[in-house]
Amino acid sequence: MNVSLTAPAFPIPPFTERLRVALRALASLARDPGRLDQVLVFAQAVNIGALARNITRIEALPEGKALFAARPRIDRTRVDFDALERLPDGTLGREYVRFLNDNGITPDVFEELPDVGDARAAYVILRMRQTHDLWHVLTGYTPDVRGEILLQAFTFAQIGVPSAFLIAAFGSLRWTWGWRGQVAALRTAYARGRRASFLATFRWEDHWHVPVDDLRATLDCPLPA
């Protein structure tokens, strides 16, 4: 029997508890915007409702059903990163490994399923965490403060999670509002996210050998002019 997810079908902590966790994480981020762990804590606290809607959306798509059936993961126990590094320059796999190496990033920090009381919800959260850097590669947004803020604007357009909107908005006010062209860049990032294909169900691991430029064309995500 199909279960309606108009409301979340998994345990939700009380609002006051989620608010307290979110505010504590925001305070940490205000002191140090590089705290990825606090970004994840904040996102999980505020995204419960949007998570349920995205599960419904994913389950309604053939590629989403296939994703839930296979539940692939992108980490060093399941992906041969040495093989990806040997792929030709410009391919997704090669540029993904280059991105990780250049920025001292490892996907191994996202090996464990989060404990949210629902297997589908846990997998969606893990999938978004494990593919975050691939979204960077596709969009061209750098993993610095400004690039992360722009990627959050793109992400909000894609999946509508409140954390992405709040990070993009308050991050811009806190760190990048005085930068020339920031408002236009935010608008462009949001428009790109609206126009691009739904990336939450995309099987990146089936396209390691494909040039990134070809994927940008396929997924309607060209780089800004």
Q: Mind listing the pLDDT tens digit for each residue in 106-151?
A: 877 766 777 777 788 889 989 998 999 999 999 999 999 899 999 9
Give Cβ neighbours of residue 206 (< 8 Å, ≥ 6 apart): none
CA distance 133 to 25: 21
Average pLDDT, the chain: 86
CB 8 within 8 A of CB 49: yes
CA distance 90 to 172: 31
Does position 3 have pLDDT exceeding 60, yes or no?
Answer: no
Instruction: Give ∠ CA 187-192-194 in degrees, rounded to 5.
Output: 95
Q: Nearest CA to 157 among 202, 196, 185?
A: 196
User: Residue 129 carries which side chain, given as an amino acid letter?
Assistant: R
Predicted TM-score (pTM) of this structure? 0.84
Q: Nearest CA to 57 among 10, 101, 107, 120?
A: 120
